[in-house]
Amino acid sequence: MTKDFSQQKAILEREKANLLKDVAAIERPEDFGSDVDDFDEEKNEAESLGNRLAMAQVLRTRISEIDSALNRIATGGYGICEACGKKIEKEVLEISPASRLCQRCKKGSEAGAV
Protein backbone atom coordinates (compact mmCIF):
# COMPACT_ATOMS: atom_id res chain seq x y z
CA MET A 1 0.00 0.00 0.00
CA THR A 2 1.77 3.14 -1.15
CA LYS A 3 -0.81 5.55 0.21
CA ASP A 4 -2.69 5.39 3.47
CA PHE A 5 -6.16 4.17 2.65
CA SER A 6 -6.73 2.71 6.13
CA GLN A 7 -9.94 4.69 6.61
CA GLN A 8 -11.44 3.44 3.33
CA LYS A 9 -10.24 -0.08 4.11
CA ALA A 10 -11.96 0.00 7.52
CA ILE A 11 -15.19 1.28 5.97
CA LEU A 12 -15.11 -1.43 3.30
CA GLU A 13 -14.37 -4.19 5.82
CA ARG A 14 -17.24 -3.03 8.07
CA GLU A 15 -19.66 -2.91 5.14
CA LYS A 16 -18.55 -6.37 4.00
CA ALA A 17 -19.07 -7.83 7.50
CA ASN A 18 -22.57 -6.33 7.67
CA LEU A 19 -23.45 -7.61 4.20
CA LEU A 20 -22.23 -11.12 5.06
CA LYS A 21 -24.53 -11.10 8.11
CA ASP A 22 -27.42 -9.93 5.94
CA VAL A 23 -26.77 -12.66 3.36
CA ALA A 24 -26.65 -15.31 6.08
CA ALA A 25 -29.97 -14.08 7.50
CA ILE A 26 -31.63 -13.97 4.07
CA GLU A 27 -30.40 -17.42 3.11
CA ARG A 28 -31.43 -19.01 6.40
CA PRO A 29 -34.09 -21.61 5.56
CA GLU A 30 -37.59 -20.44 6.30
CA ASP A 31 -40.04 -22.88 7.87
CA PHE A 32 -43.16 -22.80 5.75
CA GLY A 33 -44.78 -25.69 7.56
CA SER A 34 -46.05 -28.88 5.99
CA ASP A 35 -49.36 -27.68 4.53
CA VAL A 36 -49.13 -28.65 0.85
CA ASP A 37 -52.78 -28.57 -0.16
CA ASP A 38 -53.11 -24.78 -0.52
CA PHE A 39 -51.68 -23.83 -3.92
CA ASP A 40 -51.91 -20.07 -3.24
CA GLU A 41 -49.87 -20.53 -0.10
CA GLU A 42 -47.33 -22.65 -1.99
CA LYS A 43 -47.11 -19.95 -4.69
CA ASN A 44 -46.52 -17.25 -2.06
CA GLU A 45 -43.83 -19.33 -0.37
CA ALA A 46 -42.05 -19.96 -3.67
CA GLU A 47 -42.23 -16.26 -4.53
CA SER A 48 -40.86 -15.35 -1.10
CA LEU A 49 -37.95 -17.75 -1.57
CA GLY A 50 -37.22 -16.35 -5.04
CA ASN A 51 -37.25 -12.78 -3.72
CA ARG A 52 -34.90 -13.68 -0.85
CA LEU A 53 -32.47 -15.43 -3.20
CA ALA A 54 -32.51 -12.42 -5.54
CA MET A 55 -31.77 -10.08 -2.63
CA ALA A 56 -28.91 -12.33 -1.52
CA GLN A 57 -27.44 -12.20 -5.04
CA VAL A 58 -27.53 -8.39 -5.06
CA LEU A 59 -25.70 -8.38 -1.72
CA ARG A 60 -23.14 -10.91 -2.99
CA THR A 61 -22.47 -8.67 -5.99
CA ARG A 62 -21.78 -5.77 -3.63
CA ILE A 63 -19.49 -8.01 -1.54
CA SER A 64 -17.59 -8.84 -4.72
CA GLU A 65 -17.16 -5.11 -5.46
CA ILE A 66 -15.85 -4.59 -1.94
CA ASP A 67 -13.45 -7.52 -2.26
CA SER A 68 -12.15 -6.01 -5.48
CA ALA A 69 -11.55 -2.65 -3.78
CA LEU A 70 -9.81 -4.33 -0.84
CA ASN A 71 -7.60 -6.19 -3.30
CA ARG A 72 -6.73 -2.91 -5.05
CA ILE A 73 -5.79 -1.42 -1.66
CA ALA A 74 -3.53 -4.40 -0.95
CA THR A 75 -1.86 -4.36 -4.36
CA GLY A 76 -1.48 -0.59 -4.76
CA GLY A 77 -4.06 -0.04 -7.49
CA TYR A 78 -6.65 1.60 -5.23
CA GLY A 79 -7.64 5.15 -6.13
CA ILE A 80 -6.68 4.76 -9.79
CA CYS A 81 -9.46 4.94 -12.38
CA GLU A 82 -9.77 1.68 -14.29
CA ALA A 83 -10.97 3.53 -17.40
CA CYS A 84 -8.48 6.39 -17.84
CA GLY A 85 -5.72 5.54 -15.34
CA LYS A 86 -5.96 8.88 -13.56
CA LYS A 87 -6.37 9.41 -9.84
CA ILE A 88 -9.90 8.98 -8.46
CA GLU A 89 -10.94 12.12 -6.62
CA LYS A 90 -10.89 12.00 -2.82
CA GLU A 91 -14.54 13.10 -2.76
CA VAL A 92 -15.56 10.14 -4.93
CA LEU A 93 -13.74 7.67 -2.67
CA GLU A 94 -15.33 9.26 0.41
CA ILE A 95 -18.80 8.79 -1.08
CA SER A 96 -18.11 5.40 -2.63
CA PRO A 97 -14.97 3.72 -1.25
CA ALA A 98 -15.34 0.80 -3.69
CA SER A 99 -15.39 3.11 -6.72
CA ARG A 100 -13.39 1.91 -9.74
CA LEU A 101 -13.87 5.08 -11.81
CA CYS A 102 -13.04 8.76 -11.47
CA GLN A 103 -15.79 11.34 -11.60
CA ARG A 104 -15.24 12.13 -15.30
CA CYS A 105 -15.35 8.46 -16.34
CA LYS A 106 -18.39 7.79 -14.14
CA LYS A 107 -20.24 10.57 -15.93
CA GLY A 108 -19.14 9.19 -19.28
CA SER A 109 -20.30 5.67 -18.44
CA GLU A 110 -23.65 6.97 -17.17
CA ALA A 111 -24.17 8.95 -20.38
CA GLY A 112 -23.35 5.86 -22.43
CA ALA A 113 -25.82 3.76 -20.43
CA VAL A 114 -28.74 6.03 -21.27
How many helices (H) and strands (E) would you count in the chain?
4, 0
**Domain match, 72 and 99 both:** no
In tens, the pLDDT along 48-58 reads 888 999 999 99
How confident is the model over 58-86, as pLDDT tens digits? 999 999 999 999 999 999 999 999 999 99
Mark whether 22 and 74 lie in a shared domain.
yes
Tell whether 12 and 56 lie within a shared domain: yes
Cα–Cα–Cα angle for 33, 35, 37, nearest 5°?
155
Residues 70 and 101 in one domain: no
pLDDT of residue 42: 75
**Is-contact 5 78, C-beta < 8 A?**
yes
Residue 2: pLDDT band (50, 70, 90) is very low
What is the span of the domain harbouring residue 8?
A: 1-78
Q: Give the model confidence (pLDDT) of 82-99 as tens digits.
A: 999 999 999 999 999 999
| Per-residue confidence (pLDDT) for residue 34, from 0 to 100 | 66
**31-49: pLDDT as tens digits:** 666 666 667 777 877 888 8
Query: Number of folded domains in the chain?
Result: 2
The reply to whether 6 and 31 lie within a common domain is: yes
Same domain flag for 49 and 103: no
